A and B are shown apart, each in its own frame.
Chain A
Amino acid sequence: MKLLTAEESMQTCVRCGACRNVCPTLNITGREADGPRGRVLMARSLIEGTIPVNQEIKDQLDRCLLCSACVDACPIDVQVPDIVMLAKERIAAAAEAPVQTDIKKTAYPARTFKDYFFDHVLANQKRLNTVGNLLWFYQKSGLQYVTRGLGILKFFPEQMRQMERITPSILPPSGRKHHPEFTPRTDEEKAARGRVAFFHGCIMDVMFRETNDNSIKLLSKTGFDVVTPKAQMCCGALHHHSGKKDRAIELAKANIQAFEEANVDYIITNAGGCGAALAEYADLFRGDYHWLERAKAFSAKIRDISEIIYEKGEMPVTAGRGERVTYQPSCHLQYVMKVKDAPAKLVKGIPNSEYVDLPEKKYCCGSAGIYNLLQPNLANEILDKKMSRVKETESAVLITANPGCYLQMKLGVYREGMEDQIETKHVADYLMESIERAESAGNQ
C-alpha cells in the first residue's frame, strides 16, 4: 500500500526536479506546467483552494498522461497521478455545484467526452475515423459499460467503421468459451515451478483472446500449473479512474474472493494496466481492516507474466527467424509494478533473433487510456517521437506488454505507413511463437 494519501503526498514535494527528465509531456513542450512539479503545484493550489476552479487549470491538468514515470523517479514517491486525479475530482464536483464557475455544467466525465467530440472530433474528419474505429472497438468488445451513462454513442454517425487496420481480429464467440479452469504444466515429469492463477482481464479476454490463450499455454510450457478462476471480474481500473470508486471496490472484493479460493502462489496478469490496478487494491480499503488485510495478501501475489517466467519459470527451446526485435514497455508495468526489463530479458534469450534496446523507452507511448482521444495534438507528437525512435532501431518486431500500448504502437506503425515492415506483438504471443517454431523444427 502507498505510504501516503494524495493529500499528504502533495505536501511533501520539495520540487527537487528529479521527475523532470522522465516526463513525456515535458519532454515534448518544455513548459514547466507540462511537468510533474508544475502539476503538483497547480493541483495542490486547487485542492487547497488558493486558486479558483476554471477552464485554464482544467486544461492544464488534463494534459497529464498519468503514466507514473515521475513517481518512479521521485526519491520520496510523491504520488503525482493520484494528486492530479484528486484535483480533477474537485473540478468535476465544482462543475456540478450550484456556485457559478466558468466550467460548463455537464456531468464529468461525460462533459469531457461531449466537449471533445463536439469541439474537436466532429469538426475533423480524419480524427473522426480514428474515433469511429475505437467506437467499433468498444461495441465489438462488449464493453458498453464503459460508455454507458457517458452518452457518447449517440454522437457517432453509423458509417464510421473504418480503420479496422489497428484493431485485432476478434475470435468468433465459439472461440471465446471460458478458459479451462485448470491447465497443468506441459512437462509433468518435472516438478512444478509454481501453482499460479491467470487473471484474464475484460478487454484482454475479448479483444485479445489469442494472447490470453497463448499466455496460459506459455505458463504451462514454462513449468507452471495454471488455474483460471471462473468467478474473476474486471480489475476495476477504469471505474476507479473515472470516479466510480464504489463499483471498483465491489469488483476488487469479487476478485479477492475468487483468487483466494484458487489457492495459488501467484496471480499472473499479461496487461500492465490491470496488473498495476490489482497490485494497488489495498489503497481501495484504507480504514477497512478486514478487507485491507485480504487485499494486501492478494496484491502481494500479483506478478506480470514475463516477470514470473523470468524469475521462476524455465523457458523451453525457442527459435527466432533472424528478425530484429525491440520492446516498448508499458508504463504501469515498469513504473507501478516495477517490472523494468523482464520482457526484454526473455526476448534476448531467443536464438536467431536480435534484441535492440529502444532509445527513450522510459517515455509513455501516449496511449494512456483515452488520452489520445482527449489530447490528440500532444498524443500525436508523443507518438511521432516514439515512432522515430522505433525506426532508429530498424526492428521488424515491436514488442508490447499491455493492450493499450499494443493498439497505440499499431496505430503508430500505421501512421508511419510501415505496416509491412514492423509487426506489433504482445510479448506472450512472441514468446509462444518462438517456442512453437522451435518445436516444429524439432519435429521435422
Chain B
Amino acid sequence: MNETMTPPPLDDNVITRLRNIFGDDRLLTNCTDMMTYSYDASFETQLRPKLPQVAVIALSTEEVSECVRLANEFKIPLYPRGAATGQTGGAVPVKGGIMLDLSKMNRILEIDHRNMQAVIEPGVIQNDLNEALKPYGLRFPPDPGSANMCTVGGMVSNNSSGLRAVKYGVTRHYVLGMEVVLPTGDIIVTGGAKSKALKSVSGYDLAHLMIGSEGTLGIVTRLRLKLLPLPVTRGIVLCSFERLEDAGEAVNAVFSSGLQPSAIEIMDFNCTKAVNMMKPELNLPLDNEAILVFEVDGAKEEVSSQVNRLRKVVEKFTNYIKFSDEPDECEKLWQARKLVGAAVGLLKPGGFRVYGGEDICVPISRLPETLREIHNISERYGIICGIYGHVGDGNMHTGPVVNMNNEMEMENVQKMIDDIHELAIKMEGTTTAEHGVGIVRAKYMDVEHGPAMEVMRAIKRTLDPNNILNPGKMALPN
C-alpha cells in the first residue's frame, strides 16, 4: 500500500498497440487526464492521488479482451473502473499502469420482461436502468445511496446494496449470469453460456466468485440481471427516541411483530442537527439521541395497514412520531434521511466529511452498544462525528468531520478510523457491509478472515498468475 515507487515507463510498443485497439480519441496520456483518473470518492485518494500511466475508454468486450491480453503479455497493471464513485480506492491505479474506463459501455441490451430479466453492459447507471424498466413495471432492486451515479458493473464488483437490503437483499441476489474477461484476456459466460434460467445449480457458481471480487479476478463486460415487479406504493413512519437504546428496542419489537419493513434507517443526534441546519423547515426534534425512519411497501391497502401496525408497535418507545402513505408526504419525510450524507459536513465550520470506518456492520442485537462506543471513540479523539445507516441490517455509516488543514485532526482521524474497524470485529461484525475493501480496508483483512485469507490469495494466484488485474488491493498477493 501507498507505494511511492515510480512504475517503469510504458514501452512505446504498448502505447502503439493500445492506440490500435482504442484509436486516438479514446487513448489518453495527457498529464491532466492522468490527474483526473487518480481518484474515486475515497478520503485516501483526496490525500494521496494514484495516477495511471495511460487511460483508455472501452466500448466493447473485444476491446477489453485485447487490452487485458496486452497487459498480461507485458505484465502491466490494469485497473478497470466504472464511475469511480467508490469510497475505498477500489478502482484507482496504485501501481500506475493502464486505467480501463468502462463507463461508456452503457447500453441496455435487452429487457426480457416476460422472463423478468435484463441484459446490460457494466457501465449502465443504476438509476438509468430503473428508469428504463419502469414502463414494464419492473425494477432492479439493489439501491445504494449513489444510485444516481454508480454503474451496475461497479455494484456487482463490490456487491453493493443500500437502504432496502433489509427486505430485498444485495446485488448478489440479482445476478443470474455474466460475461467476464479473465486476466488472460479469455472471455467466458457464467451461469450457462446460453441460459435464461432464473435458477441454476449447474457447476461452481462462478458469477458469485466474481461478485464482490472488486475487479481482481476478471472484468465484467455483460450482465444478466434478475428483476422484480415495482412496488405499487410506499409508506413512511419517522420517529424520534430519547435514548439510543430505545431505538434499538423499537427495531427489535418491529421485527418480532412480524412486520417486514422495506427499510429501517437510523440517524443520531449529530445527523439530526446537521439535517436541520441544511433544511430548517424539516424541524426535527433535537433533544433526542436518535431518529428512526421506517419504510413499508406493497399494495395500497396493505401499506396503510402496515403503517398503522408499525405505529402501534413503536409508539411505546418514542416521544415523537410522523407517518404517511401519501407519496409527496413520504418524499418529504425521506428527505431527512437522504440529506444526511451531505449534511454532516456542516457540523463544523470549514469541515470536511471523511469517508473512513464508514461501512461497519454489527449484529442488530449489539447496535445500541456499538453506537454508544463510536460516540466514545469520537469524544476520545475530539472529532465530531455523525452516525447514520441501515439499522435494519446493522450497517452503519459513520461520518467524522475534520478540518483538512489541521494536522493533529488529520492524524487523529486515522486512528479513530482504525478504532472503529476494530470495534466492528470485536462486536462480531464486519469492517465493510456494502462499500468494499479496496485499499483503505486491506490492512484489516487478515484479522477479520484468518486462514480464509490464504484461500482468497490462492484463488487470485490461480486466475491471475501475473497479478495484473487491479493489483495492490484487498490484501491479495503483491
Choose among A14, A18, A51 the residue that contacts B148 (Cβ–Cβ < 8 A).
A18
Complex CA–CA separation, A37 to B42 (angstroms): 13
Complex CA–CA separation, A381 to B279 (angstroms): 39
In the complex the two chains form, is B149's CB within 8 Å of A21's CB?
A: yes
Complex CA–CA separation, A21 to B36 (angstroms): 16
A149 within 8 A of B: no
Choose among A16, A41, A57, A76 the residue that contacts B146 (Cβ–Cβ < 8 A).
A16
A125 within 8 A of B: no
Question: Which residues from B are CB-within-8-Å of A76?
Answer: 342, 345
A60 within 8 A of B: yes
Question: Which residues from B are CB-within-8-Å of A75?
Answer: 339, 341-342
Choose among A17, A57, A73 the residue that contacts B84 (Cβ–Cβ < 8 A).
A17
Complex CA–CA separation, A18 to B338 (angstroms): 13
Complex CA–CA separation, A361 to B82 (angstroms): 24
In the complex the two chains form, is A41's CB within 8 Å of B36's CB?
A: yes
Given A57-B32, A76-B342, do A15 and B149 touch, yes or no (CB 8 Å)?
A: no
The chain B residue sitting closest to A16, CB to CB, is B41
B85 within 8 A of A: yes
B323 within 8 A of A: no
A-B contact number at CB 8 A = 90
A260 within 8 A of B: no
Q: Report A371-384 CB contacts with B as 1/0, cut-off 8 Å.
A: 00000000000000
B33 within 8 A of A: yes
| B134 CB to nearest A CB, Å | 13
| A389 CB to nearest B CB, Å | 14
In the complex the two chains form, is B101's CB within 8 Å of A15's CB?
A: no
B296 within 8 A of A: no
Given A12-B352, A30-B104, do A20 and B35 touch, yes or no (CB 8 Å)?
A: no
Complex CA–CA separation, A41 to B45 (angstroms): 12
| A128 CB to nearest B CB, Å | 25
Complex CA–CA separation, A38 to B202 (angstroms): 45
Complex CA–CA separation, A31 to B150 (angstroms): 16
B180 within 8 A of A: no
| A26 CB to nearest B CB, Å | 9
In the complex the two chains form, is A32's CB within 8 Å of B30's CB?
A: no
In the complex the two chains form, is B83's CB within 8 Å of A17's CB?
A: yes
Complex CA–CA separation, A33 to B51 (angstroms): 13
Choose among A16, A17, A31, A57 the residue that contacts B28 (Cβ–Cβ < 8 A).
A31
A129 within 8 A of B: no
In the complex the two chains form, is A30's CB within 8 Å of B103's CB?
A: yes
Chain B contact surface mostly: mixed
In the complex the two chains form, is B41's CB within 8 Å of A17's CB?
A: yes
B40 within 8 A of A: yes
Question: Which residues from B are CB-within-8-Å of A365?
Answer: none
Choose among A11, A12, A20 the residue that contacts B83 (Cβ–Cβ < 8 A).
A20
B355 within 8 A of A: yes
B140 within 8 A of A: no
B37 within 8 A of A: yes
Complex CA–CA separation, A37 to B417 (angstroms): 26
The chain B residue sitting closest to A8, CB to CB, is B350
Q: Which of B19-47 contact A (CB under 8 A)?
A: 25, 28, 30-33, 35-37, 39-41, 45-46
Complex CA–CA separation, A412 to B46 (angstroms): 41
Question: Which residues from B are CB-within-8-Å of A73?
Answer: 148
In the complex the two chains form, is A17's CB within 8 Å of B342's CB?
A: no
In the complex the two chains form, is B146's CB within 8 Å of A21's CB?
A: no
| A415 CB to nearest B CB, Å | 22
A42 within 8 A of B: yes
Question: Which residues from A are CB-within-8-Å of B85?
Answer: 16-17, 20
The chain A residue sitting closest to B26, CB to CB, is A30
Complex CA–CA separation, A226 to B33 (angstroms): 52
| A251 CB to nearest B CB, Å | 34
B353 within 8 A of A: yes
In the complex the two chains form, is A33's CB within 8 Å of B149's CB?
A: no
Question: Which residues from A are CB-within-8-Å of B163?
Answer: none
Question: Which residues from A are CB-within-8-Å of B418?
Answer: none
A45 within 8 A of B: yes
A56 within 8 A of B: yes
Complex CA–CA separation, A108 to B328 (angstroms): 49
In the complex the two chains form, is B41's CB within 8 Å of A56's CB?
A: no
Residue contacts A-B, CB under 8 angstroms, 7 given: A20-B103, A29-B25, A29-B57, A31-B28, A32-B84, A75-B339, A76-B342
17 new A-B contacts at CB < 8 Å, known A15-B46, A33-B32, A56-B31: A12-B345, A16-B85, A16-B146, A17-B150, A18-B148, A18-B149, A20-B149, A21-B128, A29-B57, A30-B104, A31-B36, A32-B37, A38-B35, A38-B36, A51-B31, A75-B341, A75-B342
Pairs A-B, 7 closest by C-beta atoms = A75-B342, A38-B36, A30-B104, A17-B85, A32-B36, A33-B36, A17-B149
